[in-house]
Amino acid sequence: MSGLSTFRPEALEQWLPKTIQQRYVEILLQRIGMTRRRADCFVRLAIYLFLKDCQARKAMPKSPLTELSFPQGWVECSCLEASDVFYSDKDRGGDRSAGMMLNKLVDLGLIQKQFDGNCTQIKFHAMPELLRGNSLEPELTFAIDAFNPRSDAIPIANLLASNYNWLNRNNDAVTYRIANILRDWASQYAAGLRVLRRSDNQNPIGFYAFYPTKRESEIKFFEPPSRGLHLSQVTDVDPFQMALAGDTTCRSIFVRSWVIDSKYRQASQLSLLLDSQQTMIKMQQDFPNLWDMYTLIIHPSYAELCLALGFQKTSSDPKMPLYWMYQAVDRFLKLDMQNL
């Protein structure tokens, strides 16, 4: 750490207080695959390399900092330095552990790493949710409760329609159709329909639908995925029949919808995932033989989430960019959502 004694890793809290660091850690924890340890290492690395970059440019900021900042471009960082940054306050950890942590941060899409033949260099990806963390509604909280067909159908239909737009060339009356379908589902079995809301105004900003599927419809999960479309297609007949509470032959849940407004996704996704496990447990009381979960990947942005949740791709569509994914109910319920 020669030449950098003014901001040795063990003194990083003097530059950015621990309380402020933890605010950024909490934001990072909303990311799939993030753990508290990884988030803490990332924040400490950002502080250290920002200060190192400032020193190299002879533009050191005043201490203490009031927010997290990132270095400009590539900055040299050896595994020895990273080890000091990550583990200066711990008895465990060394060069090898630090190298593995850097690789994990690369895998999570937080940093880039390259070796120029002499030393390792680090570059940070753009992190808009962190840079705006101090200005974006810091007190905003969320609530999750049951779908209300009287007041939720239209706003949620609009949210879902935007997800399907890229599939449809003709969007005539899609929102109207979706709203009616959601109300029909709620009239048959509402427990699997859950809504994520802003606590301040109760407006829906997210939604998921766990659809108990009749045994006769299970074969559809093994047919081309395009035959499973209904919300996004102008068809009168739903290819899947809903099982009703008490049906002991029902073995499958179809995750027919999962959507969160992109502005709130990072901050609220973990809460919705935890709620989905509780919903599944409650549904098992109505359908005691639930074994299988299926979902149809319609929007590419949700494929990464499904993979993180252990879903496996089963079959693709020959004509459209769609595919089925599968996960066992028992395995889904055992997932530690906090540490994905």
C-alpha distance from residue 122 to each of 44, 74, 95, 222, 231 (Å): 14, 5, 16, 45, 45
- pLDDT grade for 139, boundaries at 50, 70 and 90: low
On whether the CB atoms of residues 194 and 185 are closer than 8 A, the answer is no
Domain 142-339 listed as CATH 3.40.630.30: yes
**What are the pLDDT digits (tens) for 166-192?**
555 445 557 888 899 999 999 999 999
User: For residue 234, what pLDDT is reported?
Assistant: 52
Domain segments of the chain as ranges:
5-131, 142-339
- pLDDT > 70: percent of the chain: 85
**What are the pLDDT digits (tens) for 224-247?**
887 767 565 556 678 899 999 999
User: For residue 75, what pLDDT is reported?
Assistant: 92
Task: Select from 26, 17, 110, 29 the least CA-distant residue to 67.
Answer: 17
Q: What is the mean pLDDT of residues 58-64?
A: 87
The most distant pair of C-alpha atoms in the chain lies apart, rounded to whole Å, by 72
Token readout for 21 is 């660091």
Q: What is the Cα–Cα distance from 155 to 320, expressed in whole angstroms?
A: 28
Q: Is 74 exposed, middle or buried (0-12, 13-18, 19+ CB in 10 A)?
A: middle
**What are the pLDDT digits (tens) for 90-116?**
655 678 888 899 988 988 878 989 887
